[in-house]
């Protein structure tokens, strides 16, 4: 009963937040989170941007040039990932703040009991992003222009022009590059997923189970991404140099 109540509360909160999030057309991801020592440590900032793009958001790093149509800083939301203090459990929460530092959205905490930081942070962040996916974000087409103090100046709506043809802006979206690894890998069960080995045998990739049977958190060397089932094929997707790579992997489970 308590669990059902919490789910209802989460749904209501998410729905309420979504009404505000939809009024913002771009989202800014920092290159470093406060709880980490270096920029993009454990590739969490890359993973954040990857998930935002996958959920339909226009997202940009805080240090990159963005298109002119997104230059109004009060028309943007600023994304952050916060680590909560917890004994033996990694907990991460995603927040989105406006230009006045007001929280517009806060996710449910993603949790992991993994001891290895790389795996724990990845698992917790992906779980926290379930709240973001549940928003089913879609830009409303109107934005509220605010002063730095937070007072509303005007509500702008897209202008309909029956004569002039309005060109859609070209967004800086990552190019998907596909490649195929023909080597057959064999899945050996582990405590929380599988390790994929070749015939040597050599461990090529480690994958960790999620709530979706067709999706695994995947680590290949120092590359972190996801292994997902697409059209009856396993595909390893990851970001490298801000480009999305999609690699077909032959796996025998």
To 10 degrees, the CA torsion angle through 211, 39, 219, 236?
A: 80
Kindly provide the residue ranges of all beta strands, DSSP E only, lying in the chain, ordered along the sequence.
26-29, 59-61, 76-84, 90-97, 103-106, 110-112, 143-146, 152-156, 176-190, 193-197, 203-209, 215-220, 223-230, 233-240, 243-252
Q: Could you list the residue range(s) of the whole structural domain that residue 136 is in?
A: 2-146
Confidence of residue 176 (pLDDT cuts 50, 70, 90): low
Output the pLDDT for position 122: 92
| Residue 194 within any structural domain of the chain | yes
Q: Looking at the structure, do residues 139 and 198 belong to the same domain, yes or no?
A: no
Beta bridge partners of 58: none
Q: Looking at the structure, do residues 135 and 196 belong to the same domain, yes or no?
A: no
Overall average pLDDT of the 208-224 stretch: 86
Q: In the chain, what is the straight-line distance between the N-terminal and C-terminal CA atoms, in Å?
A: 37
| Helices and strands in the chain: count of H runs, count of E runs | 3, 15
| Residue 246 within any structural domain of the chain | yes
Task: Please provide residue 140's backbone torsions phi and psi, each rounded to the nearest 5 degrees.
Answer: -75, -20
Q: Looking at the structure, do residues 139 and 190 belong to the same domain, yes or no?
A: no
| Residue 156 within any structural domain of the chain | no
pLDDT, tens only, 97-153: 998 889 999 999 999 999 888 899 999 999 999 999 999 998 887 655 554 444 444
| Residue 170 within any structural domain of the chain | no
| Residue 154 within any structural domain of the chain | no
Q: Looking at the structure, do residues 108 and 36 belong to the same domain, yes or no?
A: yes
pLDDT, tens only, 22-68: 989 899 999 999 999 999 999 999 999 999 999 999 999 999 888 88
Structural domains of the chain, count: 2
């Amino acid at each position: 009963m308590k669990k059902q109540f919490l789910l209802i509360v989460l749904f209501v909160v998410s729905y309420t937040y979504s009404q505000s999030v939809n009024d913002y057309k771009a989202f800014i991801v920092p290159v470093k989170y406060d709880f980490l020592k270096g920029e993009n440590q454990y590739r969490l900032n890359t993973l954040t941007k990857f998930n935002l793009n996958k959920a339909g958001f226009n997202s940009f790093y805080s240090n990159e040039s963005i298109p002119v149509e997104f230059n109004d800083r009060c028309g943007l939301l600023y994304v952050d990932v916060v680590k909560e203090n917890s004994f033996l459990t990694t907990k991460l929460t995603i927040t989105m703040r406006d230009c006045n530092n007001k929280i517009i959205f806060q996710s449910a905490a993603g949790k992991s009991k993994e001891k290895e930081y790389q795996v724990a942070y990845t698992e917790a962040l992906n779980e926290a992003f379930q709240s973001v996916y549940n928003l089913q974000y879609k830009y409303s087409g109107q934005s509220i222009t605010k002063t730095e103090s937070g007072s509303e100046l005007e509500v702008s709506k897209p202008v309909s022009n029956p004569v002039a043809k309005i060109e859609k802006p070209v967004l800086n979206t990552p190019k998907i590059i596909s490649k195929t690894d023909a080597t057959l890998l064999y899945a050996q069960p582990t405590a929380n997923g599988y390790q994929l080995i070749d015939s040597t045998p050599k461990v090529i990739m480690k994958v960790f189970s999620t709530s979706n049977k067709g999706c695994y958190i995947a680590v290949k060397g120092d590359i972190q991404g996801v292994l997902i089932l697409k059209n009856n094929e396993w595909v390893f997707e990851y970001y490298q140099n801000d480009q999305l790579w999609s690699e077909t992997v032959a796996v025998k489970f």
